[in-house]
Structure 1
Amino acid sequence: MAISADTARTVVGIIGNVISLFLFLSPVPTFVRIWKKKSVEQYSAVPYLATLVNCLVWTLYGLPMVHPGSILVVTINGSGTAIECAYIILFLIFCDKKKRLKVVLVVLLELIFIGVLTLLVLSLAHTHKKRSTVVGTICILFNIMMYASPLAVMKLVITTKSVEFMPFFLSFASLANGVAWTTYALIRFDPFITIPNGLGTLFGVAQLILYGTYYKSTQRLLAERKLNAKEVNLSEVVVADQEQHKKAANGHASQNH
């Protein structure tokens, strides 16, 4: 029995939703740490603010009045919007006043932007094709801006010859996410979903190639660091012992006098 294109697209879209949800939830350990320490420390709100506006634009794109038949785009990006809002609220609770003001201003700007975009698209573009083109183009631009993050990490890997700050499972999930959504977009061709997720797939492949290339050198660097830490600890113990012996010797000397 042949599977229809719509059924295949729905199945792939559900898989894409599950993988994307995993990616949205990947910063949870960071926020558990922030909650425990009652401080955002050196963490930046930029990734969460960038993801929030990205999710808002994609939610708009998937709405029936903009691009019909894209409910799975709405479900995952609607969920992503809620998750990013939770992250930002936690960030606001535990950051200082200066950071709090900046984050609140950026969120307000993002909400104004999405409000104005929605109003203009729905009132000035009167066909689904025009609305999809306008919102889809903005979606691609935001997605490309978000790819600056993997590029920065990849540069760090090449510079340090270490994959320590590029977790394997996150890179693998990014690749799986790109493949799932590119497949979803190709079943019933949608260039606005294909282009950014095609790029995401390429970046995912590049990250895994880097991981394979620098895995051994990373293990070597970590082993050297561990050894150095042991040597430092050992030298501290030796110095402490020497100081104790000196004190003991001085004590004996004073008693003799």
Structure 2
Amino acid sequence: MFDLHVTTGIVASVVCFLLYAVPILTFKRVIRKGSVEEFSCIPYILTLFSNLTYTWYGLPVVSSGWENWTLSGISSIGVLFSSTFIIIYTWFAPRGKKKLIMMMVSALVIIVVSAVLLSSFAMHTHQMRKAFVGSINLVASVLMYGSPLVAVKQVIRTKSVEFMPFYLSLFSFLTSLLWMLYGILGKDPFLTAPSAIGCLMGIIQLIVYCIYSKCKEAPKTNPDIERADVMKVSASQEDTKGQKP
């Protein structure tokens, strides 16, 4: 029998997989250049946080049975992707950034482990566990979807979209849209609310990209400065000729 809720979850998982895979292009560049340049690791750390919490949320311990198996499955894959990206980033990052990344990752791991222990042993119904873990998921998702605003700020400041890949913004929007639909069909506010915020963030990113993707021309040199440089070179050449015997 056709189940629209499950089908939407499967489609959302496929698009979500593409979203997780998009940064491979970014990290190929990082490895090739041996530098993280102006790329930020914050989106990947917050993605790891969100994936860890949603993996736990989708398991039968929290959800009723396997009603959210698609969510748990794709989130666990997201954990592998984001962990790999963070490791690569840390390897090529400057010493100061390495310490900050390790502190942030350690903090989120402590939060997730604490949530797992509390929901497993201190709460005895699925309703209580879903409310508790879902609230943490809500915060994690809002942070994850809001993290690209760091890149948006940089795009506006530099007037360049070099460090905000288009496909990352596109798949982020599509993933949010599909998970929002999945949450609506499953009557799950802890999926619907953060995904709706993700849709809004994705739209903002796409608008900013469209505006600044046209600003790719290198800044033109002031003609007065060029003329002054030419005159200096000419004068220098004349002095050299005058000094010859």
Match of 1:19 among 15, 24, 38: 15
How many residue pairs are counted as aligned between the two chains? 242
Cα distance change on mapping 1:231 and 1:18 into 2, 3 Å: farther
TM score, norm. by length of structure 2: 0.81
Give the alignment of 1:91-240 within 5 angstroms.
91-151=89-149, 164=161, 168-208=166-206, 214=211, 219=214, 221-223=215-217, 225=218, 228=220, 235=226, 239=229
Instruction: Look up the match of 1:41.
Output: 37
Superposed CA deviations along residues 125-181 of structure 1, whole A, max 9, x for unmatched, are: 111111111101110111122333345556677x67x68466554433222112211
Match of 1:53 among 39, 49, 58: 49
Superposed CA deviations along residues 9-47 of structure 1, whole A, max 9, x for unmatched, are: 222112111221222223223322221222333433222
Q: Distance in 2 between matches of 1:95 and 1:171?
A: 24
Q: What amino acid maps onto 1:99 in structure 2?
A: K
Q: What amino acid maps onto 2:90 in structure 1?
A: L
Larger Rg: 1
Q: Distance in 1 between matches of 2:111 and 2:15?
A: 28
**Which structure 1 segments of 5+ residues have no match?**
none
Instruction: Look up the match of 1:243.
Output: 233
Q: What amino acid maps onto 1:139 in structure 2?
A: N
Segment drifting more, 174-183 vs 101-110: 101-110
Q: Distance in 2 between matches of 1:136 and 1:182?
A: 14
Q: Distance in 1 between matches of 2:92 and 2:149?
A: 29
Q: Distance in 1 between matches of 2:16 and 2:117?
A: 28
Q: Distance in 1 between matches of 2:94 and 2:173?
A: 36
TM score, norm. by length of structure 1: 0.78
Give the structure with the larger helix fraction: 1
Segment drifting more, 29-38 vs 12-21: 29-38
Instruction: Kindly state the Cα deviation for residue 230 of structure 1 after the two structures are TM-superposed.
Output: 9.4
Instruction: Look up the match of 1:254.
Output: 243
Q: Distance in 1 between matches of 2:151 and 2:37?
A: 20
Q: Distance in 2 between matches of 1:152 and 1:142?
A: 16
**Which structure 2 segments of 5+ residues have no match?**
none
CA RMSD of aligned residues (A): 3.2
Cα distance change on mapping 1:96 and 1:167 into 2, 3 Å: closer
Q: Distance in 2 between matches of 1:22 and 1:147?
A: 16
Q: Distance in 2 between matches of 1:152 and 1:45?
A: 10
